[in-house]
Structure 1
Amino acid sequence: MGATTSEGATPDREHRAPDDPHRRAVYGLALAALGVVYGDIGTSPLYTLKTVFDPSGGLPLQPANVIGIVSLIFWSLTVIVSLKYVALILRASNHGEGGIMALLALAASSVKERRRLRHGLLVVGVMGASLFYGDGVITPAISVLSAVEGLEVAAPVLQPYVVPVTLIALIALFLLQKRGTAGIGAVFGPIMVLWFVVIAVAGAMNIKDAPRILAALDPFEGLAFCLHHRWLAFVALGAVVLSLTGAEALYADMGHFGARPIRLTWFAVVFPALALNYLGQGALLLADPAALQNPFYRLFPSWMLFPMILLSTIATVIASQAVISGTYSMTKQAMQLGFLPRMNVVHTSAREIGQIYVPGINWTLLLAVVAAVLGFGSSTALGSAYGIAVTGTMLITTMLTFFVIRYAWHMNWALCVFATLFFFVIDSMFFSANLLKVAEGGWFPLAIGLLIFTVMATWGRGSEIMAHEAHVRAGTTPLRPFLTSLLTKKPVRVEGTAVFMSADPDGVPHSLLNNLMHNRVLHEHVAFLTVINEPVPWVDNARRLDIQVLGDGCFQVTVRYGFKDEVDLPAALESCRQSGLKFDRSTISYFLSRATVVPTPGTGMALWRERLFAIMLHNVGNVAAYLRLPADRVIELGARIEI
């Protein structure tokens, strides 16, 4: 796998590169990016300051504290988002793609000769991906709940309806997922432009009432706050980090929009709007401490409250949609990298290749989100659960980036250590501050992350053991000598084409052995097909297929996919016609081996993990559907494997 040292794509990705000015205008991509990338971080002002000064945190609402907190928020946005993500990590392009899975593949590839180090990076990367699922649960819950809480401000009598309205909005959102986002995606950008303009103007209007809040632009105000309060300041960092939620999306969505539009929108629109709004909320709290009930909504006059509640709810739904879609994409990448079982993936758009829907993940997320809303009941309570997933992912991203800039980019050792240590210390402080809130709700995303990590690690290890067992078995029955011997005996040949799926291209597929044992025939055309998932986002069409003619109507076919490619075996096989493998889609038969795992004590995995792997293998996923094989042309033949 090759790595690039700039935001551009590697040659095999250039024909898809979203930064190509000949394909799309940068400003059009920037508008689209506003509607997808910034929904999460853009709606953070709804709950950040309210959570920081929540009485349970112990930080008194005093002018010096308000200025210090706003200063910490402003400079956190500057250092973490502007410097770390926008200036540095957006350069870690994996063939034009971003996100923790793409970064993991890039980091692991850069140290592929060091097996132990590579294995350690894979473990750390999977931990980061697992925490992302925790973020995928908390973000919709806290975002929509914080928006609907505006009803309490507009009319306190409506307070009992906050949770029910939130649940109705979230359930409707998840029910609509199977229809895709193509129809509503076009309006996301303009709505978020309106959102950022409104919150910027509201913030600026309040700054003029207490201009001393502008002292927060001085980084020494934040430093003085930390030195003065020490422990309370450390605790407050756990809430300050809420202003950074969604920063990971800047990198994760790089493949959709390109680095340049994301940088443009951040510096031209999002950062100024967020800075003005946080400064405006700080100014409001200086002028009216009673506004702490909900400093965001108190920025607006009473006649604007209901329109703002509506706009906020729409904006948070957009933020939730981005996270939900990101979870689908993460799941698909994890499946193709071998960390999750193959689940049903529905393509919701015939034109947009990245628009997918994973039913199993959708309903699992919905149940978890509903549980979070009912269990925590308010955005302030959810704030305690939110930060730990975000900061954990940020910390792991920093660790993986070190191996990319050092071993893939070959930058100076001292520079790599200094840059990584600088961000590592900051991320560690945020993460440590959130560890204090484990008992208050931080356990929730940690529990989700631990569950997902167990599933991913068990599936990855179990798949390795099964592949090894298949290789050992294949080693005793090499394909070419077996085929030569078989054809010498002149077996009965029947019309049609048979495709035998094989994990090892050099071994005899068990499905072929079983077919010969039971049916005692060989098809006129036979293809031994192996699918290889490479640790790159995209495989160029020129490298997609490798076809070897074995003679007498037999072929060996290897199909390669990247973790962002759309898997479609029938479509890929169309190219085989040029090599003589002619077939009719309506008569072709796909032979698959369906393994039954028998957990046995030994050197594989712990027995409970082997049993978990066996359950997942038996109950989760449909390989034929994943490969997009026609259901009426698939024949599955069983095999038992002890691990």
Structure 2
Amino acid sequence: MPLVLGAIGVVFGDIGTSPLYTLKEAFGHQYGLHPDEGNVLGVLSLVFWAMALIVTIKYVIVIMRADNRGEGGILALMAVVQRSLPIASPLAYTVGILGILGTALFFGDAVITPAISVLSAVEGLEVAAPRLHQYVVPVTLGVLLLLFLVQRKGTERVGRVFGPIMVLWFLCLAVLGAIQIAKNTDVLYALNPYYALEFFIHHGKAAWLALGAVVLAVTGGEALYADMGHFGRVPIRYAWMGFVMPALLLNYFGQGALVLAHPEAVHNPFFNLVPAPLLFPMIVLATLATVIASQAVISGAFSLARQAIQLGYLPRLKLIHTSDETIGQVYLPWVNRILLVAVMLLVVTFRSSTNLASAYGVSVTGAMLIDTLLLMILASSRWRWPSWAIAIGGIAYLIIDGALFSANAIKFFHGAWVPVVIGMVVFTIMRTWRRGRDLVREQVNRDSLRIEHFVQSVMTDPPARVSGTALFMTPSNEYMPPALLHNLKHNKVLHERNVLLSIETLSVPRAEELERVAYTDLGHGFSRLTLRFGYMEDPDVPKALKRWSIPGPAFDPMDTTFFASREALSAKADQGMALWRDKLFLVMSRNATPATEFFSIPGNRLVELGTQVVI
């Protein structure tokens, strides 16, 4: 039960605040739908079946089976699928591209969610007192600024109250909805999918466009999967099916019953559910709920950025742990600043949740579509499902996800371009960084010697030896580190013990004890050591050398010197990537955290030697 409570507080914030704007947007002027009985029942039927088919069946029941040693999310799904495919196969490469694209779309969602959620809650002021309209944007900006400023404090303290607040929120949703349903039980007919079909038959294109609003009811479905590592699949399933989904459906159907009785309430059906004396307390509670929802998305962006850094898709950035007990609670100052500026610009530019709703949905539905594609590959390559089952289920969900995506994509020039542009920028950055590091590695290896050849050749004319242990950092365990070659060339000496150290990040959250260390004694005072970390672990090299079981003599911190190469990068137009991508890579490299700092190498035991690399 504590895990269920924690999941309610963190996992369901995004989808739990969707009732603030979903039905209001479905009957917005852009779709031309009148709030009559057929349309209300049709929209409610679409909302119910979208939640049942996409969130419950697709994510809660099926995709949550595809965990990567307990972790979830698009990068975890990508890693699981890639491990089930032949290495370096075209399909494995395609899966990698899809995973990066899904990650990029998530960052687009992380920008829009705080803006639309907090705006929609503060807009309740207009219902309570229309003259307060002019204060909606300033109050929203103030709440968001405070939210981003407290990120460095972490969520450990406030996290303890997230659960109870969200429980109160969902209880209020359920009670407010149930009161209206009791007044008009006919609204429950919308559970019948016939009304959704009839809605499409009567309205055609308008009904398809209205899917752009219906999708708002299922935003946050990805978070159920992404946060699986924090709470486990069973608590999330219990929380969703036993509490969150019933509360949401009661509120949606309650809003529908209210609109059937009072069509004029359609301009903001959520706050019109609330009795007048309770309106301001409900606005406060809604604001708290949206802040919690935003906090969850921002924390998810930090976590995803950390995974991407560990897997080599983003440059190394300063990372701060905000909890001594929970490894997943991290704070990345650069990511926080970028999100703050982007979210503020969105609020100032769009100025209302209705305008922002046009931008919302493309990134979410795009990520859902990618999840379906990856799931089909996984079901075939690893789960060995029958081809007919994959074909029927895959085609059905591709149609559903494709319809939702297309209904949002058609709003491209009305705001949907925002998450697309954000996603493409992030995608370009991730692909450029990965390709740039590959080019640097290829260039360094081309100018180096294979380890075995060097060890044999150096013994034919042995240089002078000095006491102590030298650890040479290298990205490759096949080629000699440039730092060792430079040290030998200029200082004419070798240490008694020379360890060629490479760090490898696995495609699993946390490495098993038996796979953490690979050690080879090369003879003549040389050894090759590989330390392996999971992508959710901090690669603290000194701590690993001290605590892990590594063959050979123990490492004495006072008698060990770390040697590392620092590349001086330059670009040429006739090689590598396009010149603009080369220059983008150089900018990221200059601003990235040095590898030695990222791996926690003590500065007083470090010697860095420069090397020129042209890409």
Q: Does the pair score TM above 0.5?
A: yes
Secondary structure class of the residue paired with 2:30: helix
Q: CA separation in 1, counterparts of 2:123 and 2:597?
A: 42
Q: CA separation in 1, counterparts of 2:17 and 2:45?
A: 19
Question: Does 2:489 match 1:517?
Answer: yes
Question: Does 2:507 match 1:535?
Answer: yes
Say which is worse superposed, 602-611 or 351-360, in terms of deviation. 602-611
- The one of 221, 235, 249 equivalent to 2:209 is 235
- Aligned residue for 1:584? 556
Q: CA separation in 2, counterparts of 1:34 and 1:64?
A: 34
Structure 1 pair 60/617, CA: closer, same or farther in 2 (3 Å)? Answer: same
Q: Where do residues 3-14 of structure 1 align in structure 2 (5 Å cutoff)?
A: none
Amino acid at match of 2:504: I
- The one of 344, 348, 356 equivalent to 1:370 is 344
Amino acid at match of 2:397: F
Say which is worse superposed, 196-205 or 517-526, in terms of deviation. 517-526
Structure 1 pair 602/244, CA: closer, same or farther in 2 (3 Å)? Answer: same
- How far is 1:552 from its partner? 5.1
Secondary structure class of the residue paired with 1:579: coil
Q: CA separation in 2, counterparts of 1:546 and 1:68?
A: 61
- Are the aligned partners of 1:546 and 1:558 in contact in 2 as well (CA < 8 Å)? yes
Q: CA separation in 2, counterparts of 1:208 and 1:344?
A: 54
Amino acid at match of 2:23: L
- Aligned residue for 2:441? 467
Q: CA separation in 2, counterparts of 1:576 and 1:185?
A: 33
Q: CA separation in 2, counterparts of 1:521 and 1:323?
A: 53
- Aligned residue for 1:10? none
- Are the aligned partners of 2:72 and 2:228 in contact in 1 as well (CA < 8 Å)? yes
- The one of 27, 35, 38 equivalent to 1:64 is 38
Q: CA separation in 2, counterparts of 1:328 and 1:619?
A: 18
- Are the aligned partners of 2:540 and 2:600 in contact in 1 as well (CA < 8 Å)? yes
- Aligned residue for 2:95? 121
- The one of 516, 530, 548 equivalent to 1:544 is 516
Q: CA separation in 1, counterparts of 2:597 and 2:257?
A: 56
- Are the aligned partners of 2:472 and 2:501 in contact in 1 as well (CA < 8 Å)? yes
- The one of 149, 153, 161 equivalent to 1:175 is 149
Q: Where do residues 288-327 of structure 1 align in structure 2 (5 Å cutoff)?
A: 288-327=262-301
Question: Does 2:53 match 1:53?
Answer: no
Amino acid at match of 1:567: P
- How far is 1:602 from its partner? 4.0
- Are the aligned partners of 2:517 and 2:550 in contact in 1 as well (CA < 8 Å)? no
- How far is 1:114 from its partner? 6.0
Q: CA separation in 2, counterparts of 1:125 and 1:462?
A: 19
Q: CA separation in 2, counterparts of 1:447 and 1:409?
A: 35
Structure 1 pair 109/576, CA: closer, same or farther in 2 (3 Å)? Answer: closer
- Aligned residue for 1:195? 169
Q: Deviations over 1:522-578 (max 9, x none)?
A: 334332101112222221122111122334543321011222222211111114675
- How far is 1:56 from its partner? 2.7
- Aligned residue for 2:107? 133
Q: Where do residues 25-44 of structure 1 align in structure 2 (5 Å cutoff)?
A: 27-44=1-18
Q: Where do residues 179-578 of structure 1 align in structure 2 (5 Å cutoff)?
A: 179-474=153-448, 477-486=449-458, 489-551=461-523, 553-575=525-547
Structure 1 pair 576/541, CA: closer, same or farther in 2 (3 Å)? Answer: closer
- How far is 1:628 from its partner? 2.0
Say which is worse superposed, 449-458 or 543-552, in terms of deviation. 543-552
Ranges in structure 1 where 5+ consecutive residues have no aligned partner:
1-26
- How far is 1:504 from its partner? 1.5
- Aligned residue for 1:619? 591
- Are the aligned partners of 2:444 and 2:482 in contact in 1 as well (CA < 8 Å)? no
Q: CA separation in 2, counterparts of 1:387 and 1:377?
A: 18
Q: CA separation in 1, counterparts of 2:459 and 2:548?
A: 22
Secondary structure class of the residue paired with 2:214: helix
- Aligned residue for 1:607? 579
- How far is 1:341 from its partner? 1.1
- The one of 621, 627, 631 equivalent to 2:603 is 631
- Are the aligned partners of 2:455 and 2:524 in contact in 1 as well (CA < 8 Å)? no
- Are the aligned partners of 2:545 and 2:555 in contact in 1 as well (CA < 8 Å)? no
- How far is 1:634 from its partner? 3.0
- Aligned residue for 1:17? none
- Are the aligned partners of 1:34 and 1:192 in contact in 2 as well (CA < 8 Å)? yes
Secondary structure class of the residue paired with 1:57: coil
Q: Deviations over 1:180-219 (max 9, x none)?
A: 1111111111111111111100000011222221111111
- Are the aligned partners of 1:284 and 1:291 in contact in 2 as well (CA < 8 Å)? yes
Q: Where do residues 12-31 of structure 1 align in structure 2 (5 Å cutoff)?
A: 27-31=1-5
- How far is 1:112 from its partner? 2.7
Structure 1 pair 397/551, CA: closer, same or farther in 2 (3 Å)? Answer: same
TM-score normalised by L of structure 2: 0.97
Q: CA separation in 1, counterparts of 2:170 and 2:153?
A: 28
Secondary structure class of the residue paired with 1:55: coil
Instruction: Count residues with an aligned counterpart.
Output: 615
- The one of 84, 88, 96 equivalent to 2:58 is 84
Q: CA separation in 2, counterparts of 1:370 and 1:635?
A: 43
Q: CA separation in 2, counterparts of 1:165 and 1:634?
A: 50
Q: CA separation in 2, counterparts of 1:347 and 1:622?
A: 18
- Are the aligned partners of 1:545 and 1:560 in contact in 2 as well (CA < 8 Å)? yes
- How far is 1:285 from its partner? 0.7
- Aligned residue for 1:4? none
Structure 1 pair 207/446, CA: closer, same or farther in 2 (3 Å)? Answer: same
Percent of paired sites with the same residue? 48
TM-score normalised by L of structure 1: 0.93
Q: CA separation in 1, counterparts of 2:551 and 2:98?
A: 43
Amino acid at match of 1:325: S
Question: Does 2:70 match 1:96?
Answer: yes
- How far is 1:99 from its partner? 0.4
Q: Deviations over 1:285-336 (max 9, x none)?
A: 1111121231111111011111111111111111111111111111111112
- Are the aligned partners of 1:555 and 1:581 in contact in 2 as well (CA < 8 Å)? no
Secondary structure class of the residue paired with 1:350: coil
Secondary structure class of the residue paired with 1:523: strand
- Aligned residue for 1:14? none
Q: CA separation in 1, counterparts of 2:306 and 2:284?
A: 33
- How far is 1:77 from its partner? 0.4
Amino acid at match of 2:120: S
- Are the aligned partners of 1:545 and 1:572 in contact in 2 as well (CA < 8 Å)? no
Q: CA separation in 1, counterparts of 2:156 and 2:459?
A: 52
Say which is worse superposed, 107-116 or 341-350, in terms of deviation. 107-116
- How far is 1:85 from its partner? 0.7
- Are the aligned partners of 1:347 and 1:356 in contact in 2 as well (CA < 8 Å)? yes
Ranges in structure 2 where 5+ consecutive residues have no aligned partner:
none
Q: CA separation in 2, counterparts of 1:213 and 1:552?
A: 82
Q: Deviations over 1:396-451 (max 9, x none)?
A: 11111111111011211111121111111000000000011111110111110010
Secondary structure class of the residue paired with 2:416: helix
Structure 1 pair 345/490, CA: closer, same or farther in 2 (3 Å)? Answer: same
Q: CA separation in 2, counterparts of 1:431 and 1:364?
A: 26
- How far is 1:113 from its partner? 4.2
Secondary structure class of the residue paired with 1:503: coil
Amino acid at match of 2:332: V
- How far is 1:498 from its partner? 2.3
Amino acid at match of 1:510: P
Secondary structure class of the residue paired with 2:577: coil
Q: CA separation in 2, counterparts of 1:31 and 1:434?
A: 33
Say which is worse superposed, 48-57 or 316-325, in terms of deviation. 48-57
